[in-house]
Structure 1
Amino acid sequence: MSFAISNTAGLARLPPTSRRATPASLLLFALSASSLVAPSHSMRTAGPQSKRTLSPYAQPTCPLNRDTCPATIGSRSFHSTSHNRKPQFTYHVAASYSAKQDRFNAEQNLFTRPVYDPSESKTTDLRECKESIDKRQRAKSGQDAFFFSQVGNTSATTFGVADGVGGWVESGLDPADFSHGLCEYMACAARSWPHGSNTTSLHPKHLLQVAYDMVTDDANIEGGGSTACLAVAEADGNIEVANLGDSGFMHLGLNAVRHFTQPQTHAFNTPYQLSKTPQRMLVQMAVFGGPATLSDLPKESSVTHHKVRHGDVLVFATDGVWDNLSPQDALSIVSRHMVDLGAWVEKDGTIEVGQDLTKLVQADSARKADSSSLQAKVAVAIAKEAKETGLNTRRDGPFAKEVQKYYPGENWHGGKPDDIAAVVAVVLEEGFPRSKL
């Protein structure tokens, strides 16, 4: 199944020529086949926050100032019930979100099912596919957006987030149209693959290019801009991630940060971003002059490759999360819930994957995961913490620390209110020893 959601809301950033707006809300969704992204920060407006004590489980083992972990990534042998076959993995996903101006509601701000069933439409025309999506059914997530889709008839899946550039509001445009449209086209292109493609496998950078081309040619999307972070996850455990801008992806495994994306920025609080300039603005610039709008291309995305393990957790989120939660914060939240719910268990001073993981993610094909699933609870916990931290005027979050670093005279303290979107995927190895459902 596939679906796309987007959200835009919240703080206005600098104009599109200098910076994208802060609005970023979260959308949630949970399916049995997808992977998540993680961190990257960019500057925003927010209030102070009170100091918080991290969970004793939050002890990252990788240097957080590096884009990848040392040789430990993917180096651990996989567990399998058979030594004669390669392990196969499924990705159990949920998303939680909150528009900047809304109160957080754990039950309403959760998505665990696709917005539409791709099996209901056999069209390979991307425009027709996108137009079949009811705009009124989009998640109330502000200017942020996200999507999920099976890749054609393969066992691969793809998912990601996009954060609309709020500065376009000053030009009379709704940034949500661009970010939502981008995600909807990516979902449509993925599920119709390999139609129109001459490649033997789908890559996230290519998927982003196809969607961007469609948005650029879509007359119903007058203009706008967005960052993007997306992945293609294979059943063999290989994941390819493409990140453009300051949304981000985090890979966590057994109480360790295995990867944390670094934001792409032109300058402080000026992330890389895709954009489409309305014809009326192009005419005005041609007649009266003025600076061109900032616009980067999908080919400039940073691409990384990862190998997942049984029990790993993937988090894809917009900067409404990463401006308020550090990698240590996110690890603490995830570790606390994974241990408390029995997904990770302490044994002889170490942490192992619990035997009930299959049951916890509700992997039984007879039903769809719901709000009581492990992935839903973790997604809600991340979004809720980001929301509360963004409104806290006493505790300095990552954004506040960046402001203090680059603009020490601003006296900026606290969190940064913004749209929030967090997508969480729990990795399950098929055939791994587990308890009876």
Structure 2
Amino acid sequence: MGVADGVGGWRVKGIDAGIFAKELMSSCSSNAQRPEFDGRNPRQLLIDSFNQLKGKTTQLQGSSTACLVALKRSDCTLHTANLGDSGFLVLRGGKVVHRSYCQHHGFNTPYQLAMPQDNKQQGGDEPEAAVATHMPLQEGDLVLTATDGLFDNMPESLLVRQLATAQGETSSERLQLVANKLVALAGNLSVSANFQSPFALRARANNLNFGSGGKPDDITIILASVAVP
């Protein structure tokens, strides 16, 4: 599973960075279908897929964060690679047992893959900078992968409470309903003027006058339940 979040700063240049983010995930998806794909190394998948896009005759423009997670079924191990401020978390028994952490050059300036990569103004990073982790999973664990639009607007305690109804769930339809509810709730919080969002609290901690309220942003979520005995 993977999510990528195009960096909005490209809008001032008339460029939709979402196109690059979608192409990056499309490349990852295609390469993950190849027989030689090693699910134990999603960071290599990110490296190969990014380099593949760079090698195209018609280069894309834009930059994006990226988070990839893969399940090795034979030993039920989760392997991850995260670059920037999208991320993942693993819930077991109503508690977060593993999660990613943001990579920032400075407040609200996440690590990002950029096209063209020599555009220093956009802060392009190498895919090798992605943080790789692995951990054993158990049947019934939840794995959530999401862009920062979720994490910037929903406190982890609220997120865990919302996910409690999905713990151990194996119906894709019911998992989809929980994911839809999370997106809707995070969207409402993002436009709330009074809610003390995680983004607002971090801005204050960095001496920035953001005030209170949420941060309007794209919100993408993938929710999975482990059903491997």
Fold shared per TM-score above 0.5: yes
Alignment partners' CA distance in 1, 2:40 and 2:134: 14
Aligned counterpart, 1:312: 141
Offset of residue 391 of structure 1: 1.4
Kindly, what percent of the aligned residue pairs are identical? 31
Aligned counterpart, 1:89: none
Counterpart of 1:301 (choices 130, 152, 156) is: 130
Counterpart of 1:380 (choices 180, 184, 191) is: 180
Counterpart of 1:186 (choices 13, 18, 28) is: 28
1:66-145 matched pairs, under 5 angstroms: none
**Contact 2:113–2:124 (CA under 8 A) maintained in structure 1:** yes
Aligned counterpart, 2:162: 333
Task: Indicate whether 1:427 and 2:220 are aligned.
Answer: no
Aligned counterpart, 1:229: 67
Instruction: Give the residue type in structure 1 aligned to 2:225.
Output: V
Distance 1:399 1:231, change over 3 A: same
Highest Rg: 1 or 2?
Answer: 1
**Contact 1:161–1:316 (CA under 8 A) maintained in structure 2:** yes
Give per-residue Cα distances to partners, 1:407-426, cap 9 Å, x unaligned.
Answer: 25x15111111111011001
Offset of residue 378 of structure 1: 1.7
Give per-residue Cα distances to partners, 1:163-207, cap 9 Å, x unaligned.
Answer: 00111222232201210010000000010231xx7xx66510100
Query: Greater CA deviation, 169-178 or 245-254?
Result: 169-178
**Divergent runs of 4+, >3 A:** none
Instruction: Give the residue type in structure 1 aligned to 2:188.
Output: E
Aligned counterpart, 2:152: 323
Aligned counterpart, 1:288: none
Aligned counterpart, 1:108: none
**Contact 1:324–1:399 (CA under 8 A) maintained in structure 2:** yes
Instruction: Give the residue type in structure 2 aligned to 1:227.
Output: T
Structure 2 residues not aligned, in runs of 5+ = none
Task: Indicate whether 1:418 and 2:217 are aligned.
Answer: yes
Give per-residue Cα distances to partners, 1:29-84, cap 9 Å, x unaligned.
Answer: xxxxxxxxxxxxxxxxxxxxxxxxxxxxxxxxxxxxxxxxxxxxxxxxxxxxxxxx
Counterpart of 2:16 (choices 163, 170, 174) is: 174
1:161-310 matched pairs, under 5 angstroms: 161-194=3-36, 202-235=40-73, 236-277=75-116, 292-310=121-139
Offset of residue 217 of structure 1: 1.8
**Contact 1:177–1:221 (CA under 8 A) maintained in structure 2:** no
Alignment partners' CA distance in 1, 2:212 and 2:56: 41
Offset of residue 295 of structure 1: 1.1
> Comparing both structures, which one devotes a greater share of its residues to helix?
2
Instruction: Give the residue type in structure 2 aligned to 1:398.
Output: P
**Contact 1:379–1:423 (CA under 8 A) maintained in structure 2:** yes
TM-score normalised according to structure 1 size: 0.50
Alignment partners' CA distance in 2, 1:185 and 1:402: 33
RMSD, aligned CA: 1.9
Offset of residue 215 of structure 1: 1.4
**Contact 1:173–1:222 (CA under 8 A) maintained in structure 2:** no
Structure 1 residues not aligned, in runs of 5+ = 1-158, 286-290, 344-352, 363-368, 431-437
Aligned counterpart, 1:125: none
Alignment partners' CA distance in 2, 1:183 and 1:239: 19
TM-score normalised according to structure 2 size: 0.92
Distance 1:389 1:307, change over 3 A: same
Instruction: Give the residue type in structure 2 aligned to 1:216.
Output: K
Instruction: Give the residue type in structure 2 aligned to 1:420.
Output: I
Offset of residue 332 of structure 1: 0.9
**Contact 1:178–1:221 (CA under 8 A) maintained in structure 2:** no
Alignment partners' CA distance in 2, 1:391 and 1:421: 16
Aligned counterpart, 1:75: none
Distance 1:332 1:299, change over 3 A: same
**Contact 1:260–1:327 (CA under 8 A) maintained in structure 2:** no
Greater length-normalized contact order (CA 8 Å, ≥ 6 residues apart): 1
Alignment partners' CA distance in 1, 2:139 and 2:122: 44
**Contact 2:59–2:116 (CA under 8 A) maintained in structure 1:** no
Distance 1:179 1:201, change over 3 A: closer
Query: Greater CA deviation, 169-178 or 415-424?
Result: 169-178
Alignment partners' CA distance in 1, 2:210 and 2:124: 31
Offset of residue 258 of structure 1: 0.7
Offset of residue 317 of structure 1: 0.3
